[in-house]
Amino acid sequence: MEVWPAIDLLGGSCVRLRQGNYRDVTVFGEDPVAIAKHWVGEGATRLHLVDLDGARLGRPASLEVVRAIRQVVPVPCQLGGGLRTAEALEEVLALGVDRAIVGTAALKDPEWFRRMCRRFPHRLVLAVDARDGWVAIAGWQETTCLQAWEAAHQFVGEPLAAVLYTDIASDGMLSGPNIPAVVALQQGLPFPVIAAGGIATVEHVRALARAGVRGCVIGRALYEGTINLRDALQAAGEQPEQSG
């Protein structure tokens, strides 16, 4: 299972929100570039970047920070937040970001997203963010009448890289991931599902891996120290077990 350490960007800092609430922010560092280098130094083989300013504004807003991170880390990076036009996708992919995460625009205009998937094959990730099973968009500020499984299955047949499933109720709460929801979503999908939200312990990582989940995003737990990244990578099978 892939482990994606999260770096959430807001106002140039590395932060975490609770349940997507911009009024409940914890700042974990003023230098996201140094934090990116730190996680790679700890063994991270990939990074999950979120432009929270962009998610709220509906357009990329942290590209200078993303560019700086991309210049100093050698591992694949995926970026989400405010990517709602073809021009925005071109811009972030041109920065060297390996995969762009699209949520709001994909769900508001599925046909547009299908065209983008074909234009950027295997470089787009569909973000499905759900509150009580219902998809939320626009930086989680708007809840739709679309179920999570409906949102993902409408793109079966397209060259998607992955589906990123976030359980909003769990996000930033360290309460444990919603494993049944992730597993249910994975069923019938030809592309991998990455779980986000609530992962607080190495046992949570191990449980996701045992359930056949293909990837997970870990945020607050890494910053608050309830998970050691090297232990998480080992639990996920990304690093061999240490002998002796």
Any idea which residues carry the catalytic annotation?
8, 129
Quick check: helix, strand or coil at residue 117? Answer: helix
CA distances from 3 to 86, 221, 236 (A): 28, 13, 7
- What is the C-alpha separation between 228 and 48, in angstroms, rounded? 17
Taking alpha carbons only, the member of 72, 70, 80, 131 closest to residue 106 is 80
Angle between helices 179-186 and 202-210 (to 10 degrees): 30
Task: Please say whether the beta carbons of 235 and 210 come within 8 A.
Answer: no
Distance CA 71, CA 95 (A): 9
